[in-house]
Amino acid sequence: MCGIFAYTGKKSAEEVLLDGLESLEYRGYDSAGIYIPEAGVIKTPGAVSELREKIPANFKGHSGIAHLRWATHGEPNEKNAHPHSGCTDDIWIVHNGIIENFKELKEKLEKAGHTFKTDTDTEVLAHLIEYHLQKERDFEKSVLAALNEVRGTYGIAVQYKEKPEMLIAARMGSPLVLGIGEDERFIASDASPILPHTKKVVFLEDGEVAIITPMEHKILKLDATQVKRAPEEIEWNAEKAQKNGYEHFMLKEIMEAQEVIKNTLRGRLIADKGMAKLGGLESVAKKLEDIERIIIVACGTAYYAALVGEYMLEEYAGIPVEVELGSEFRYRSPVLNQRTALIGISQSGETLDTLEAIREGKRRGALTLGIVNTVGSTIARETDAGVYNHAGPEIGVASTKAFISQLTALALFTIFFGRQRHMSKETGREIADALLELPEKIRSILERNERIKELAEKYANYRDFLFIGRKYNYPISFEGALKLKEVSYVHAEGCGAGEMKHGPIAMIDENFPTIAIATQDSVYEKMKSNIEEIKARKGPIIAVVNDGDTEIPKLVDDVMFVPKTLEMLSPILNVIPLQLFAYYFARKKGLNVDRPRNLAKSVTVE
């Protein structure tokens, strides 16, 4: 949540900063702001395009700090937009995170005569640095003194008007990357805005403070002792995400599903041997042979992918699997040991709840693995081993192609773990062959998107939806509902079809449609009965069914057809019509599909 970017060097800081902010927009778009010591501060509600419009021609300088906000404390208006200053407007700060003890610090500072202008927790930090500066008369010492008083999470960049070429950055729980160019330095929440300028970076660790000028930098701990860390060369390129003619990133990303599967599988299947070759797991392959239990931690869409993974791994690899929400896992006392593998799944690789769950797992002795899309992200770096999704940048806030890739990667994990245990070569081959057939099957679903658009438009005036599914498609009922509610703001509930009669069916009437995932698998007959139960209560039903099914189409009001595949892979196909339905539904309502209200792409607060 929140993106920060800072620059010091010879270039025009305003241009560098505005361009950089654009590649961080996935982190928040409630408000934006920029401070350049030689020019002043400009802030606005909204995103970078709004900020650009407000910048006058003479707003120029060679260093500065900039921010995109996802509001935690205080409304997303101009007043609360970052950068924030103290009383004298000498100290300016941009912040990603939450200062937990801001109330007590604010009281102390108010008693010392400080006056606050905003409702944010961040402003406290600006005043606190200013308070220490008035005593210490030293920028570096003042920032260190202030940071030693705060509790919570932060990635910050701070500037002092009197030392315009200097930046001070610090990290505690919120990611921060230092970019090292030719006589220039950058600070950013992730490497993407730095990559067009340099590939030489230092990933700051928690509790580290970087003192930066254009020509040099030093890294300190909070107790002022110096840390020696050689820069790393980043190998990947800055992929500038484009809509390629699509109206929205969400649609473009759904339409990329075929390529995404090919890229996730590339070089990882030895189909004739029924094996999966996962280079990222090679270093721990021996340890994985002795694993007796798997715990998967994730949030949101990645959590629903994990639930499908639980069915896959238990059925085919015979390993006990539990799936946990990252946000819950660390607050209980999970019992783990060295024979537990903890897998974190995350598109962004920065989701704080998932990251903290992984750290908790590590502390408790588990071997940690990642399934991560964003190369070089914190989860990718902190896990013991893992695989990248190779799904390419996902810009739409609603996760679509990453979900497809996560399910594909989990199928690869299933073959990998299964073949290490009792899975036969034939079974491995059957899954591998079915995986390789998926892109063609996806093509045939995507070609029928006009029909799904018609259906979404037909149902666009309903305010409530129930999604039902069983077994492998039980998690897909939740994912279908999440997609619809996050982009359309309508009430949508996922529910195990068997669980419906234990409560949710009470909601059903002619104004409450159900979307049933009812493809021809081992629970098809049971799904048919559940559909009949809804019909008996006059609930409209749309069903996702297999091509050639002649039974369910007779029972329901509308159908979305998908090709048949192996039952364990059916979620990969069945979710696509639901993604398209959510997209066209929101579009019909004229909503900002790529940037739904109140959300951010990467959730780096708890």
Q: Which amino acid, one-letter code, is at 550? A: T
Quick check: 347 binds ligand M6R (CB under 6 A)? yes
CA 506/CA 328 separation, integer angstroms: 29
Known catalytic membership, residue 2: yes
What is the rounded end-to-end Cα distance, in angstroms, of the chain? 10
DSSP β-bridge partners for residue 67 = 4, 33
CB of residue 600 to ligand M6R, shortest distance in Å: 8
Task: Reduce the DSSP state of residue 544 to 3 states and report it.
Answer: strand
Quick check: 301 binds ligand M6R (CB under 6 A)? yes
Residue 227 makes CB contacts below 8 A (sequence gap 6+) with: 208, 219, 220, 221
The residue among 283, 285, 308, 299 whose CA lies nearest residue 409 is: 308
Catalytic residue among 2, 401, 441, 483: 2
Q: Are 521 and 476 in contact (CB under 8 A)?
A: no
Nearest to ligand M6R of 354, 414 (CB atom): 354
CA 500/CA 477 separation, integer angstroms: 12
CA 305/CA 509 separation, integer angstroms: 30
Nearest to ligand M6R of 301, 565 (CB atom): 301
Q: Which amino acid, one-letter code, is at 248? A: H
- Only one of the segments 68-76, 286-294, 340-348, 414-422 lies at the binding site for ligand M6R (rule: CB under 6 A); that segment is 340-348
Q: Which amino acid, one-letter code, is at 204? A: L
Sign of CA dihedral 184, 185, 189, 191: positive
Q: Nearest residue by C-beta to ligand M6R?
A: 300
CA 437/CA 387 separation, integer angstroms: 22
- Only one of the segments 115-123, 212-220, 298-306, 574-582 lies at the binding site for ligand M6R (rule: CB under 6 A); that segment is 298-306
Nearest to ligand M6R of 417, 583 (CB atom): 583
CB of residue 483 to ligand M6R, shortest distance in Å: 7
Task: Reduce the DSSP state of residue 40 to 3 states and report it.
Answer: strand
Write each residue from 438 to 477 as x if it is in contact with ligand M6R (CB under 6 A), else as -, in one continuous string.
Answer: ----------------------------------------
The residue among 353, 405, 341 whose CA lies nearest residue 379 is: 353
Quick check: 348 binds ligand M6R (CB under 6 A)? yes
Quick check: 351 binds ligand M6R (CB under 6 A)? yes
Count of residues of this chain found to bind ligand M6R when the rule CB under 6 A is applied: 17
Quick check: 299 binds ligand M6R (CB under 6 A)? yes
CB-count burial class (<10 Å; 0-12, 13-18, 19+) for 526: middle
- Only one of the segments 128-136, 268-276, 341-349, 546-554 lies at the binding site for ligand M6R (rule: CB under 6 A); that segment is 341-349
**Residue 536 parent element (H or E):** helix 524-536
Catalytic residue among 199, 252, 485, 601: 601
Quick check: 354 binds ligand M6R (CB under 6 A)? yes
Q: Which tokens go with 392?
A: 């390419």
Among 486, 493, 549, 594, binds ligand M6R (CB under 6 A): 486
- Only one of the segments 57-65, 204-212, 294-302, 409-417 lies at the binding site for ligand M6R (rule: CB under 6 A); that segment is 294-302
- Only one of the segments 261-269, 296-304, 464-472, 559-567 lies at the binding site for ligand M6R (rule: CB under 6 A); that segment is 296-304
- Only one of the segments 24-32, 71-79, 109-117, 597-605 lies at the binding site for ligand M6R (rule: CB under 6 A); that segment is 597-605
Residue 49 makes CB contacts below 8 A (sequence gap 6+) with: none
Known catalytic membership, residue 554: no
CB of residue 301 to ligand M6R, shortest distance in Å: 3
- What 8-state DSSP symbol labels residue 37? T
CB of residue 445 to ligand M6R, shortest distance in Å: 19
Nearest to ligand M6R of 63, 373 (CB atom): 373
Site for ligand M6R, residues 384 to 403, rule: CB under 6 A: 397-399
Among 48, 81, 125, 603, binds ligand M6R (CB under 6 A): 603
DSSP E strand stretches across 230-384: 232-233, 269-270, 275-276, 293-298, 321-325, 340-346, 367-372
CA 472/CA 383 separation, integer angstroms: 27
Among 147, 294, 302, 569, binds ligand M6R (CB under 6 A): 302
Q: Which residues belong to the active site?
A: 2, 601
Residues that bind ligand M6R (CB under 6 A): 299-302, 346-348, 351, 354, 397-399, 482, 486, 599, 602-603
